[in-house]
A = this chain, B = another copy of it.
Amino acid sequence: MPKARVYVTLKKSVFDPQGRTIHEALRSMGYEGVADVRQGKFFEVDLESMPAERARETVDEIARRVLANPVIESYRVEVEP
């Protein structure tokens, strides 16, 4: 069964308050070597048996329609057969 992973990140131009909060927490804990933190989401999507090309098309459509908000987020799809 093909497996896909979808990585969703806020676009660079969008402020990421969760990442900022984690960054500040890390600095207050003494991790001076951290320059920036950004948080994203990812999804593991298990598919029924289908050709790799169809799997990629399906998951790409799901990412665009459901998992990511294309106004503020970008996404990347990986499919393994």
Contacts and interface: CB of A to CB of B under 8 A. Distances in A.
A22 B45 CA distance: 10
B9 A33 contact: no
Given A1-B35, A31-B58, A62-B34, A41 B43 contact: no
A31 B47 CA distance: 10
Q: Report how many copies the assembly holds.
A: 2
Interface residues of A, number: 34
Interface string A20-37: 001001100101111111
A65 B29 CA distance: 11
Contact of A39 (B37, B41, B46): B41
Contacts of A37: 43-46
